[in-house]
Amino acid sequence: MTRIECPSEAWDRYVTQHEEGCEVCLNHIDSCECPECPKCGGVGDSDCYEKHDLEPAHDSVASFCDWVGVSPIRSCLKAIDSYDDDGLVLVMRDGRSLHSASDKEVKYSEELKPWERIGRVIVTGIAWDDSDWEYEEVVDAGNGWSALEQARDNFKDALEKHRLLTEMEVQDEG
């Protein structure tokens, strides 16, 4: 199981990191990978996303919401929790993590800016049948979210298989 940092620890660290690196991609200023703003020529300036219509990155919170089809991020995580069997943990580049099934963490998501970058996403879930069956798959964020889509399909397949096996066991016992 991947260790997920307690959100409050990570939020404290986030504030310190802000002073050393690019505020958008969180890399050191020297290796900033942010695009140049077509309007002002700024690089790694969060204002450009809010004021100059700079397109958020492929692995940003905004891109994730677009992919799910629900925004803002808090409603997006809530929708996943209400309508899907799996849960998603968004692990931000700075280590903050937000689990769609945790009310507290979903509430934290309100603080996220649309341009903030997601590092990895963990697809996780249980079978809801009192068994200890558990699923977990970690994928990189972004890139059209195809890895995430695949991981969510893998979850469905694995859950289906688990349910079939459980049914067969029940029949054997009967």
Which parts of this chain interact with Zn ion (CB under 5 A)?
Answer: 22, 24-25, 32, 34, 37, 39-40, 42, 44, 48, 52
The least distance separating Zn ion from the CB of residue 102, rounded to whole angstroms, comes to 29
Identify the DSSP state of 135: E
Question: In this structure, what DSSP letter does residue 35 have?
Answer: P
Nearer to Zn ion, 46 or 154 (CB): 46
Q: Please enumerate in sequence order all residues whose Cβ is within 8 A of that of 65, keeping only pairs 6 or more positions apart, or say none.
A: 71, 72, 73, 76, 114
Q: Least Å distance between CB 34 and Zn ion?
A: 3
Cβ of residue 117: shortest distance to Zn ion, in angstroms? 9
Q: CB neighbours of 26 closer than 8 A, spacing ≥ 6?
A: 17, 93, 94, 117
Q: 115: closest CA among 37, 74, 68, 54?
A: 54
Nearer to Zn ion, 75 or 119 (CB): 119
For the CB of residue 119, give the shortest distance to Zn ion in the complex, in Å. Answer: 14
Cα 41–chain centre separation: 29
Nearer to Zn ion (CB atom), residue 35 or residue 153: 35
Closest CB 7 distance from Zn ion, rounded Å = 23
Identify which of residues 44 and 87 has a Cβ nearer to Zn ion in the complex: 44
User: Alpha-carbon distance 99 to 122, whole Å?
Assistant: 9
Whichever of 116 and 137 has its CB closer to Zn ion, that residue is: 116
Cβ neighbours of 140 (radius 10 Å): 13
